[in-house]
Structure formats: C-alpha cells, structure tokens
Structure 1
C-alpha cells in the first residue's frame, strides 16, 4: 500500500479513537503523549513519510486495538513495525 494511503488510514483510525495527531516542525522525533488527559501522537512533518508512519505505528501499537476494526493492510503494517522494533531491542 502506498505511504500516503497508510497515512490517511492512520488519520481515520485516530478520528475513530479520538486521538489527536499533531503535525509539527522542529528538532524532535515524535511519538505518543498525554496532554491534559487527551491522547496525542506528535509527528514531525519535516521527516520522511516512512519515518512519520513508523512513529504512528509505534503510537497506535501501544494501544489495545484488539476490539477495533482496522483495515487489514494497516493492521499488518503496525504489526510489522512492532515486530521490527521488538527484534531490534532483543
């Protein structure tokens, strides 16, 4: 699936889960955080789209999505990124 389509699917998922995605510029990687009780995933829009997608996958991967319908291509992408992360940490 094309990166732009994956980005759109992440944004749709965020809307359904009431998670705000903040696109900012600066010297940061990005990631999930809690701001005034609101779930937020901060993404650096200066990074390549592949890096932004990885940050989103990590952010959503921290959540229990077992009861949430996610398009198979997006779920597969999240699983792939998480598998890669856990393999790197081992």
Structure 2
C-alpha cells in the first residue's frame, strides 16, 4: 500500500476514535521527535512532525493507534494486519 494512502487510512481511523491529528513543525533543538499521542483538556491529540517523511508519520500513527481498543471498530483487513503486526514487534 502506498504510504500516502496508508496515512489517509490511519487518519480516518484516528478520527473514528475521536483523536485530533495535527501536523506541526516540531523544532526543538535538544530533542528530535517524530510526534506522539497526548491528552489535552481531556481529549486525545496526535501530533505529527511536519518535517518527517510520510513513512515516519505512519509509524507514529500506528504506535498511537495500538493503544486503543480496536476490536469493535471496522478496520480494513490490511490496516488491521499492519496494526497487529507492529504490536507483535513491540
């Protein structure tokens, strides 16, 4: 699957879960971060570093989405396999 298409699919899944996805320029000299999941005022926000590759954004998305119960949500089989495969690797 094309990395751009995958990113769009993962963003749609995040939206179903009520996660706000933000593409931000993370420019912190002391650290390098591709982004991550946080809670802001009780809501989940997934921040993606706009300076990284689409593949790196996908990795951040997958890691964040694995923290949620996805058993009751329809996910395309190829995406579910990807999420479960990465979970086994962790």
Q: Return the TM-score normalized by structure 1.
A: 0.86
8 Å CA contact retained: 1:61, 1:82 = yes
User: Offset at 1:80?
Assistant: 2.1
**Structure 1 residue 43, shift from structure 2 partner:** 0.7
Q: Whose relative contact order is higher, 1 or 2, with alpha carbons under 8 Å and at least 6 apart?
A: 2
Is the contact between residue 54 and residue 81 of structure 1 (CA under 8 Å) also seen in structure 2?
no
The unaligned stretches of length 5 or more in structure 1 are: none
- For 1:3, the equivalent position in structure 2 comes to 3
2:17 corresponding residue in structure 1: 17
- Alignment partner, residue 63 of structure 2: 58
Alignment partner, residue 35 of structure 1: 40
Structure number with higher helix proportion:
1
Q: Which runs of 5+ in 2 are unaligned?
A: 28-32
Q: Kindly indicate whether residue 26 of structure 2 is the aligned counterpart of residue 26 of structure 1.
A: yes
TM-score, L = length of structure 2 = 0.86
Total equivalences in the alignment: 85
The answer to whether structure 1 residue 45 and structure 2 residue 54 are counterparts is no
